[in-house]
Structure 1
Amino acid sequence: MTQVRGCNLPDDLLYDVDNHTWFQETGDGKVKLGMTTVATALAGEIVAFTPKKVGRSVSAGKSVATIESGKWVGPAKSAAAGTIVEVNEAMVSKPNTANDDPYGAGWLVILDPEDWASVKPTLTPGSEVAAPYEAKMDADGFAGCEAA
């Protein structure tokens, strides 16, 4: 597990650092998407999770869900285009699960990506994520997860 300024970033995931999201291949051609601990620390307590519906297509760089906290309302963006095949219904009823377990029970959606082979190389592997996240935190003036 990589740690950057107190933020956990599991090595077995792929990261879209700019959008604070992670991807995990599910083994059947689909990918699970969620928010990083950096995203949850920046947002604070998540109070609402409004996912797009199963069957909806999303374009690369567009939202798969709207996340709302006491500090922020905004999109959870996907680096990959595709069709939403599953949403985390448990997050709808208990959105702060993303604060408690962002890499486990707090996942957002499962996507059937359109062109994963071309998107995957644009994401940062967990084993290489420390330097890009340090740079992003510097650029954003973010002290770290423990300071949030």
Structure 2
Amino acid sequence: MTNTHIGGASALVEVRGYQVALDRMYDPDTHVWAKSTGLGELRIGLDPLGVETSGTLAQLSVVDSGTPLVRGRAFGQLEAAKFVGPLISPVSGTALGANPAVLADPGLVEEDPFGAGWLLELAYDGTDELSSLLTIPEEIEAWFARKVDEYRLKGVIAE
């Protein structure tokens, strides 16, 4: 696994051919990541494996600012070559705003999932839901490697 840095801030490691940011929290069930952007605020996006298993993105939509969010419920819709369905919120809170660049060009999610390709910012409601997200770098790497191996074995992604 190779460590790299983007702008000195975001540590990325290579896991089974994918770049994974270790400064994020991950929902292991949905491949949605979250990163703190300030006191009680999170930015969320889709990790590279979630992007690849969906296929080429055609369209994205997310909820409007002020919309209440519930962990495990949809905060948006994804239309892609291999998948059409909901984007699932990793935590409860209130939507602060979508990434307008991604709504105009969904390809940014594929090109830069941890940077310009983020999806939504939200005010986190402060419950203990963050404890269900993966936060420890070694656990993130191990989980991501297991998922890549699983998806390759099932033929979901190429070797």
TM-score between the two structures when normalised by the length of structure 2: 0.83
By relative contact order (CA 8 Å, sep 6+), the higher-ranking structure is 1
Correspondence for 1:89: 100
1:100 counterpart (101, 105, 111): 111
Distance 1:114 1:98, change over 3 A: same
1:137 counterpart (148, 152, 157): 148
Task: Report whether the alignment pairs 1:120 with 2:110.
Answer: no
Between stretches 102-111 and 120-129, larger displacement belongs to 120-129
Correspondence for 2:4: none
Question: RMSD between aligned alpha carbons?
Answer: 2.0
Correspondence for 1:12: 23
Correspondence for 2:49: 38
Q: How many residues are paired up?
A: 146
- Amino acid across the alignment from 1:98: V
Distance 1:84 1:142, change over 3 A: farther
Q: Percent identity of the aligned residues? A: 28
2:33 counterpart (5, 22, 26): 22
| TM superposition outliers: structure 1 runs of 4+ over 4 Å | 142-145
Structure 1: stretches of 5+ with no match in the other structure: none
- Amino acid across the alignment from 1:106: G
- Amino acid across the alignment from 1:127: P
Work out the CA distance in 2 between the residues paired with 1:68 and 1:80: 22
